Amino acid sequence: MDELDRYRQLPENPERKNPFSEVLTYFIEDAKLTEYARNFNVMKESYTSGQPHVAEGIAGTRDLLQKVIFEQIFFNLLTAAKLKYIFNGASDCLKSENIIGLASFSRSTLEHTATYASTITKLESAVDRLTGQNNLKTIEDTLKTLSKFYHISYYGSGDRNEKENHTSKPIHIHDAIKDLDGYFGKVDTSTDKDEANSIQHSFLFQEACTRDEAVERFGIPIDPFPKTHVVRADYDFLCDFVHPNYGSNFLVTSGTLAEGLIDTPNKYVRNLNILFVKKCLRYWIYYKELRLLDANVNLKLSSWLQRAEKKGAKASRIFSKKAPKYNGDGKSIETAYSFPTARDKMEEFDMFGYLLNDLKASNYQQSIAEIGQNFIVDRIVLDDGRVVFVKWKSHDE
């Protein structure tokens, strides 16, 4: 029994007939992609229509913040749009048994996810530099550098008006791979059962595979389950089957020069087929994790933008960082922890992080305990079973 047969014999579920069904549904149902992908100007218009008039000094900072927010949102939607087509192509190749096409689409999912990771890496770096910053020139230079990176990422080069020897180089895929490896490069090989993912994604978990076992299952001495630098290892692995060399030759012959059959997949191709599917789905999972990181860091940019739009705003205070402070003991709704000095949702959440650290907690579950006119109280269950209450203010958008 090969891997594809084992996959299809999992508990009966109509969606399992196509391992890409969940992925394709994810992209089809993405509300943002549906609403804005065909006309990004609609989103920009709705975003800017209610902006107040602010002083010129603040307006310059505000406009730069708004520009990089739009550019990062655009890259988010752009990546989703391209991945939708790439996964559709991979699905079609699987159905039509186009093994070389499936290998190519597998590598493409990796490359596009890695490029998206690069934009988030640069965004996080810029946010770190801006946090607590009060020098207007440093603020503007940081935002302009970030915007220039987006320009290069989209057009593949720097500003065409720049002198030739100063033109920025396009993003190299190996640099993007390093960025993605920085997030996910070391895979946990633990055999502990993951209850959240065991039904849908258990077949993606790392496997122990010796050289001899690889030859037995896939016909060639490969390591399809790297333990570190996973993205780079996956890229090299997939390139072997995409480039016109032994890997792609092996997919459509008996595997030996001037012997056997041509244009007739050998007996190992079915196992390689499902392995390419696994690689595709690995990068869909990584992409979803990256979107959460993207949303979190973009929330900080949006908070800074809101501060820049307020009456009487000062450039030196937009990026200032409040010392963490919380009130209450968290034992009841009436004495819930609160963050009175927080200026916005992002600052509240940052202070909540300090609270969790003081409580020596890392994971938690939350549910609404009470909704008031200008506040919400959450019931927080910490990972050690303790229950605390946290009060959040309703901030003006």
Q: Which residues contact 80 (CB under 8 A, 6 or more apart)?
A: 27, 30, 32, 33, 37
Strand 364-371: give its sheet, edge to edge.
364-371, 375-382, 387-393
What pLDDT sits at residue 284? 93
Three-class DSSP category at 304: helix
Looking at the structure, tell me whether residues 272 and 374 fall in a common domain: no
Residue 66 located in a structural domain: yes
Looking at the structure, tell me whether residues 95 and 242 fall in a common domain: yes
Q: What are the phi and psi torsion angles at 133 (to 5°)?
A: -75, 135
Looking at the structure, tell me whether residues 349 and 289 fall in a common domain: no
For residue 143, give the nearest of 195, 212, 77, 72 by alpha carbon: 72
Cα three-residue angle 279-284-288, rounded to 5 degrees = 150
What pLDDT sits at residue 322? 83
What pLDDT sits at residue 15? 42
What pLDDT sits at residue 201? 38
Q: Which residue, 309, 343, 362, sits at the end of a domain? A: 309
Looking at the structure, tell me whether residues 290 and 347 fall in a common domain: no
Q: Which residue, 261, 278, 309, sits at the end of a domain? A: 309
Residue 315 located in a structural domain: no
**Is residue 266 predicted with pLDDT exceeding 70?**
yes
For residue 339, give the nearest of 30, 105, 330 by alpha carbon: 330
Distance CA 321, CA 323 (A): 7
Looking at the structure, tell me whether residues 253 and 357 fall in a common domain: no
Distance CA 325, CA 318 (A): 19
Instruction: For tokens 């989103």, name the residue.
Output: 43
What pLDDT sits at residue 38? 67
Distance CA 55, CA 182 (A): 40
- Of 153-162, 192-201, 260-269, the poorest mean pLDDT is in 192-201
Q: Is 364 left (phi over 0), alpha (psi -120 to 50) or beta?
A: beta
CA distances to 222, 349, 353 from 357, in Å: 44, 13, 6
What pLDDT sits at residue 14? 37
Confidence of residue 210 (pLDDT cuts 50, 70, 90): confident
Confidence of residue 389 (pLDDT cuts 50, 70, 90): very high
Looking at the structure, tell me whether residues 296 and 366 fall in a common domain: no
Query: What's the whole-number average pLDDT of the chain?
Result: 82
Residue 317 located in a structural domain: no
Looking at the structure, tell me whether residues 237 and 328 fall in a common domain: no
Count of structural domains, the chain = 2
Residue 186 located in a structural domain: yes
Neighbours of 213 (CB within 10 A): 11
Residue 234 located in a structural domain: yes
Residue 314 located in a structural domain: no
Q: What is the mean pLDDT of residues 373-388?
A: 93
User: What pLDDT, in 10s, does the model give residues 46-97?
Assistant: 766 555 555 555 778 888 999 999 999 999 989 998 999 999 999 999 999 8
Instruction: Write the DSSP string, 132-173.
Output: T---HHHHHHHHHHHHHHHHHHHHSSS-TTS-GGGPPPPPPH
Q: Which domain holds residue 348?
A: 322-397
Looking at the structure, tell me whether residues 345 and 282 fall in a common domain: no
What pLDDT sits at residue 207? 60
| Residue of 207 and 116 predicted with greater confidence | 116
- Of 126-140, 149-163, 239-253, 367-381, the poorest mean pLDDT is in 149-163
User: What pLDDT, in 10s, does the model give residues 277-316?
Assistant: 988 998 999 999 999 999 989 889 988 988 888 777 777 7
Residue type present at position 239: C
**Is residue 127 predicted with pLDDT exceeding 80?**
yes
Distance CA 2, CA 268 (A): 9
Q: Residue 333 belongs to what H/E stretch?
A: none
Q: Which residue, 309, 339, 356, sits at the end of a domain? A: 309
CA distances to 17, 189, 328 from 323, in Å: 54, 39, 17
Q: What is the mean pLDDT of residues 365-378?
A: 92
- Of 56-60, 162-166, 180-184, 322-326, the poorest mean pLDDT is in 162-166
| Residue of 33 and 294 predicted with greater confidence | 294
Looking at the structure, tell me whether residues 280 and 340 fall in a common domain: no
Looking at the structure, tell me whether residues 170 and 45 fall in a common domain: yes
What pLDDT sits at residue 10? 42
What pLDDT sits at residue 205? 43
Three-class DSSP category at 307: helix
| Residue of 144 and 219 predicted with greater confidence | 144
Confidence of residue 174 (pLDDT cuts 50, 70, 90): very high
Q: 228, 184 in Cβ contact below 8 A?
A: no
Looking at the structure, tell me whether residues 217 and 334 fall in a common domain: no
Looking at the structure, tell me whether residues 255 and 385 fall in a common domain: no
Residue 369 located in a structural domain: yes
User: What pLDDT, in 10s, does the model give residues 313-355?
Assistant: 777 788 888 888 999 999 999 999 999 999 888 889 889 999 9
Residue 316 located in a structural domain: no
